[in-house]
Amino acid sequence: MYTVGEFAHLAHVSKRLLRYYDEIDLFKPIQIDPSSGYRYYTAKQMTQLNRILALKELGLTLNQIQRTIADDISSEELEGMLRLRKAEIEQQMIAEQRRIREIEARLEAIHNDETNTPPNVIIKQVPDIHALSVRRTMADFATAVDFYTRVQTLMPRRFASGRFYCICRSDTDTLHDLDLEFGVFVNKPQDKPLALSDDVMLNPSQLPAHDKMATTVVTGALETIHRGYAEITRWSAINSYRLNGTHRELCLQMATHLDGRDMITEIQVPVEPLPLP
């Protein structure tokens, strides 16, 4: 018969742990003195405790361990639990490899230049989004900005809170004859087009969900937005992602200056993870 302290010492665990396991009915002393409340354990129980500790080492939760111990569990269930846990660990390891990668890149950045280069690209998950949109070919960025502004002015009040987006399907280095889509996000899916004026008609559309989207925020006029794409491209190369899918730009803040230098835009590019080399 051992007291908590002795048993804890033998098992190389803390007394608190033994009391806790008693409290949650996971592992109880074989006897408790009714008058003093002292817990007493026997050597025989060591095997049981070791079993619990071993399962804990595998990363099972105490709750899961409790179920396996209570022996009201079939070997199929146990197998399921283990398989699940294995999958979890594998997921974690992939994520951790990427973290290591990113940390290494940042350490290198610190060494190469003194400038503190904070990370600007992050991965987000975005759902389907309903919108009203119009797609046109524009001569150049100036025309686009004009049109953009006009659409914003014409937009009815009830869409005032709706955020605008822009999709450019031309090559990123093309500066003329741009294939552009402007749109405004709406909460409910719309079923009929909305005429803003004689020559501007917004059609119901939907932006597809993406599980992994690399995003970054750029401040400045539309002409300077390529810096954002450059950043995302560089980041993706370093972190083993491949751009795939149609990128979009979200207007976070509209320009108040004519030159658009206070415009804030979020770039979103769907990406897909590549196996790490």
Catalog residues that contact a second copy under the rule CB under 8 A.
Answer: 6, 10, 12, 42-44, 46-47, 50-51, 53-55, 57-59, 75, 78-79, 82-83, 85-86, 89-90, 92-93, 96-97, 99-100, 102-104, 106-107, 110, 114, 116, 118-126, 161, 163, 215-217, 219, 250, 252-253, 264, 266
Give whichever of 47 and 161 is closer to DNA, judged by the CB atom. Answer: 161
Give whichever of 106 and 150 is closer to a second copy, judged by the CB atom. Answer: 106
39 binds, among a second copy, DNA, none (CB under 5 to 8 A by kind): DNA
Give whichever of 192 and 257 is closer to a second copy, judged by the CB atom. Answer: 257
**Alpha-carbon distances, residue 247 vs 23, 66, 242, 253 (angstroms):** 54, 48, 13, 19
Task: Find the binder of DNA among 34, 44, 63, 256 (CB under 7 A).
Answer: 63
33 binds, among a second copy, DNA, none (CB under 5 to 8 A by kind): DNA
Residues 6+ apart with CB under 8 A from 204: 130, 131, 132, 189, 190, 191, 192, 193
Largest CA distance in the chain: 92
107 binds, among DNA, a second copy, none (CB under 5 to 8 A by kind): a second copy
46-82 per-residue burial string, b: 16 or more CB within 10 A, e: under 16: eeebeebeebeeeebebebbbbbbeeeeeeeeeeebe
Task: Find the binder of DNA among 158, 188, 192, 257 (CB under 7 A).
Answer: 158
- Which residue shows structure tokens 């003329």? 176
Q: Is 56 in the site for DNA (CB under 7 A)?
A: yes
90 binds, among a second copy, DNA, none (CB under 5 to 8 A by kind): a second copy
CB neighbours (10 Å) of residue 187?
10
Residue 117 CB, nearest distance to a second copy (Å)? 10
> In this structure, what DSSP letter does residue 225 have?
T
257-268 per-residue burial string, b: 16 or more CB within 10 A, e: under 16: eeebeebebbbb
Q: Is 49 in the site for DNA (CB under 7 A)?
A: no
77 binds, among DNA, a second copy, none (CB under 5 to 8 A by kind): none
Pattern of binders to DNA over 83-122, x per CB under 7 A?
----------------------------------------
Residue 41 CB, nearest distance to a second copy (Å)? 10
118-145 per-residue burial string, b: 16 or more CB within 10 A, e: under 16: eeebeeeebeebebbbbeeebeebeebb
187 and 244 in contact (C-beta within 8 Å)? no
Q: Pairing relation of β-strands 2-3 and 210-219?
A: unpaired
Q: Is 62 in the site for DNA (CB under 7 A)?
A: yes
Structure tokens at 123: 């991965």
Q: Rule CB under 7 A: which residues touch DNA?
A: 3-6, 14-17, 19-20, 33, 35-39, 56, 61-63, 157-158, 160
